[in-house]
Structure 1
């Protein structure tokens, strides 16, 4: 099952890159989060997870990023932006799932990056 998830993550990343950024969301803060940075951080962590295992610090930041979406998503009142950021949230959740499964499977003292 883990073998299928990186492929699904790669597909979600490609879909995200094909979508235009929501109009009016550049420079916008929602619930204390800059929406451009939320987008950027979500994609960056997904790309890191797609490539290899995250460090403990990066894993903790990924977990915090996942919860940030829980605050931001209900506050988005634009239909396109809500879909755009929901897709990003799903991508981050999948990234966290992949990372958690890898951590369970890696040997103690296994190499971690980033």
Structure 2
């Protein structure tokens, strides 16, 4: 059962996802690995988890992956501020990951 809180988060996440899907991956980050993190893998993993969260409750593995990668991206964001576009792109991705975590939590309540 989806609660009012979960429904509101799902609607917000769907809007953000639609906007995010129009963005292109930051070209300078195909090879750049801030703090040793492959940003292509970060993008792919978080986008997959966000999409899965929009489809329904996450399983334990995806829930842990979403939380761990969102936390890691949150730590990386300050180190990429030299690229304005990449900062926006990854900040948007991070925001969606946090919202997807909240959505998943609200569904389980």
Residue 58 of structure 2: which of 45, 48, 54 is its match? Answer: 54
TM-score between the two structures when normalised by the length of structure 1 = 0.86
Structure 1 residue 18 corresponds to structure 2 residue 30: no
Larger radius of gyration: 1
Map Cα deviations across residues 5-45 of structure 1 (whole Å, 9 max, x no partner). 11111111111110121121112211121111111111100
Q: Which residue number in structure 2 is paired with residue 32 of structure 1?
A: 36
Task: Give aligned pairs, total.
Answer: 104
| Gap regions ≥5 residues in structure 2 | none
Structure (1 or 2) with the greater helix fraction: 2
Supply the RMSD in Å over aligned alpha carbons. Answer: 1.0
Q: Which residue number in structure 2 is paired with residue 93 of structure 1?
A: 98
**Alpha-carbon shift at residue 48 of structure 1 (Å):** 0.2
**Alpha-carbon shift at residue 84 of structure 1 (Å):** 0.7
CA distance in 1, matches of 2:38, 2:6: 32
TM-score between the two structures when normalised by the length of structure 2 = 0.89
| Gap regions ≥5 residues in structure 1 | 105-114
Q: Which runs of 4+ in 1 moved over 2 A?
A: none
Q: Which residue number in structure 2 is paired with residue 75 of structure 1?
A: 79
